A and B are shown apart, each in its own frame.
Chain A
Amino acid sequence: MYPVEISGPRLAWRELTTGDADALIDMLSDPGLFRYAADQELPDVETYRGFLAEQIEAARTPERHRYKLGITVDGVIAGMGGLEMTSATATAAEIGYLLAPAYWGGGMGTEAASLLVDLAFDRLKLHRVFAGADPANHASIRVLEKIGMRYEGTRREDVFKDGKWRDSVTYAILETDARPAR
């Protein structure tokens, strides 16, 4: 499915373009945010633009299984994230999301995440949506709970970050579970 566009009351998800490279790198450079990402070096804008071009090309094929999208508020990039299946025929997808710190604390994370769940069940017709989080990332875990996901377990020493192995908690919601009203 391409292009994907989903709007909520306050924010929208849309396809990324190569023109977003500057805004995204700018956003990802925020030290308050990078703390939560797994160990990876930030690429320079040029490399990132090339990476986006590749992603967009793959997104236009029938085998599309990665929905890497941008979050906008009043038309301006405010975050990114998306949904990833292991293949185009998979029945489950993992979601992920991040917001620029300026947008934290007002329910936007919850709105963004619940729109991804709607995309997975209503449009992609998937059965299962899951997400992983660092056990110390309380805001993200709270978001997963608020969108109706249930705790399924803790993978021990699953993510290498800041020179240490960290556990990850897994949450999931099925198409047959209740989706809380928002």
Chain B
Amino acid sequence: MHPVELKGPRVSWRELAVADAQDMHDLMSDPQVFRYMSDTEVPEVAAYEAFLIEYCATITEPERIRYKLALTLDGELIGSGGVDLSPSGRKSEIGYMLASRHWGKGLATEAAALLVDFCLDTLGTHRVWATTDVTNHASRRVLAKVGLREEGVMRGYSFKDDVWHDSVMHGMVATDERPLRG
């Protein structure tokens, strides 16, 4: 579906646009945010713009499986994230990041709850999952607060800053309790 617009009490998700390239570059340049991203380098603005042009050309396809979204507060881009559907369309993976100046106020929890509602109610997927670095306690807590359960630890899942990292797998199914349902 397109366009996606999800509104919470404070933050909103909207479609990412080519014009967001600079803001996205600034967001990823935040070392505390970049630390938990899989990329090895922050993409240059021009490179990210090229990526967005390509990506935005696909979002109106009826079989859309990628939802890359911008998180806004009072109209300003303060984070990003989104949803990836499995090939069957029955499962969805969520992810999010938030500029560090906005941490600690419950905004990520609100943003993640909106994604969970979108996956279960709008996209109709049965299962929602996410992965986090085992040391990313804030994000693990966010996922727990919106109703995802920790289902295991995948060893040697990612390589970042010269070391291998383990990742927690989190999952929620449509029949689970949804503590923050909107």
> Chain A interface (Cβ within 8 Å of chain B)?
91-92, 127-128, 130, 150, 152-158, 160, 165, 170, 172, 174, 176
Residue interface mask B141-156, A partner, CB < 8 A = 1: 0000000010111111
Q: Does B68 contact A (CB under 8 A)?
A: no
Docked pose: A141 CA to B173 CA in angstroms: 24
Assess the B173–A156 pair: CB atoms within 8 A: yes
Contact A165 B151, CB 8 Å, known A127-B156, A157-B127, A160-B126: no
A86 to chain B, nearest CB (A): 11
A168 to chain B, nearest CB (A): 10
Using Cβ atoms and an 8 Å threshold, which residues of chain A touch B126? 157, 160, 165
Name the residue of chain B whose CB is nearest to the CB of A129: B156
Q: Select the residue from A127, A130, A157, A172 with max chain B CB neighbours within 10 A.
A: A157
Docked pose: A92 CA to B38 CA in angstroms: 14
Assess the A127–B152 pair: CB atoms within 8 A: no
B153 to chain A, nearest CB (A): 6
Assess the A174–B156 pair: CB atoms within 8 A: yes
| Contact among A156, A158, A172 for B154, CB-based, below 8 A | A172
Using Cβ atoms and an 8 Å threshold, which residues of chain A touch B171? 155-156, 158
Using Cβ atoms and an 8 Å threshold, which residues of chain A touch B169? 152-153, 155, 170
B157-181 CB contacts (< 8 Å) to partner A: 157-159, 164, 169, 171, 173
Using Cβ atoms and an 8 Å threshold, which residues of chain A touch B164? 127
Assess the A153–B156 pair: CB atoms within 8 A: no
| Contact among A150, A153, A157, A170 for B173, CB-based, below 8 A | A157
A178 to chain B, nearest CB (A): 14
Q: Select the residue from A130, A153, A154, A174 with max chain B CB neighbours within 10 A.
A: A153
